Amino acid sequence: MALEATFRDLSRQLRMLYDMLLALRLTVGEDKPLKGEASLVDQLEDTILDVMGALDECLKTAVVAQKSVGHPLDLDRARRALTACQDQFHRMERQYCDSLASYEKLKDLASLGRDRRGEWLAWAGSVKDGVEQCRQPLDGARKALACCWQEIAERVGTSSVSVRTSNIGQKFVTKTAAPDDVRVEGLT
């Protein structure tokens, strides 16, 4: 895949993940049952907002990287932006896995639905489905990041220039002409 297309795909994959998280946030916060409150709802909503914040930073740096591989090409800027994007992506992925999609969190969600029944059971099922649906775009973004790194590595590998310096120099010595060496020819 061409360099620009690879970076464009990364931005597209990250936006798909952002849209899935936005839908999940709406399910958690807006579609919750009207009767009763649960601290788990607030925890989930806070976690989703944190994940979305890290993903937003990831998206911003992905856009910078995408612009850097356009015309004029600036591979160093693209590499630095992709590094920042990768860091934010790992932060976001850890939050998603540890605080949103963890076994304990999903078990608590299922328990809340079973204990309260009715609307809460349906809501808990919808939230669990939403969390699970985020896995595919998360995986797609991870693969797109790897493809971007591969494209940069291939580009750098084909156009590398090596410069080596040494302290060896040249010394020019001139000889002063002796009077015997001086000849006068053709004076008029």
What is the per-residue pLDDT for 135? 95
Q: Is 180 exposed, middle or buried (0-12, 13-18, 19+ CB in 10 A)?
A: exposed
Between 101 and 184, the more confident residue is: 101
Domain that holds residue 65: 3-29+36-160
Task: State the helix-helix crossing angle for 39-68 and 75-95, rounded to 10 degrees.
Answer: 170
Q: At what angle do helices 39-68 and 103-116 cross, to 10 degrees?
A: 140
In a domain, 170, yes or no: no
- Distance from C-alpha of 79 to C-alpha of 185, rounded to nearest angstrom: 69
28, 48 contact by CB (below 8 A): yes
pLDDT at 110: 94
CB 68 within 8 A of CB 55: no
* 156 falls within a domain: yes
Number of domains in the chain: 1
Q: What is the pTM of this model?
A: 0.78
Domain annotation covers residue 130: yes
Q: Give per-residue pLDDT as tens, 46-87.
A: 999 999 999 999 999 999 999 999 889 899 999 999 999 999
Residue 98 lies in a domain: yes
Residue 7 lies in a domain: yes
CATH number of the domain encompassing residue 51? 1.20.120
| Residue 9: per-residue pLDDT | 96
Kindly state whether residue 187 falls inside one of the protein's structural domains: no
Q: How far is CA 100 from each of CA 3, 20, 54, 94, 96, rounded to the nearest angstrom?
A: 33, 13, 14, 9, 5
Give pLDDT, residue 146: 95
pLDDT bin (cut points 50, 70, 90) of residue 88 is very high
174 within a domain of the structure (yes/no): no
Crossing angle of helices 103-116 and 119-133, rounded to 10°? 160
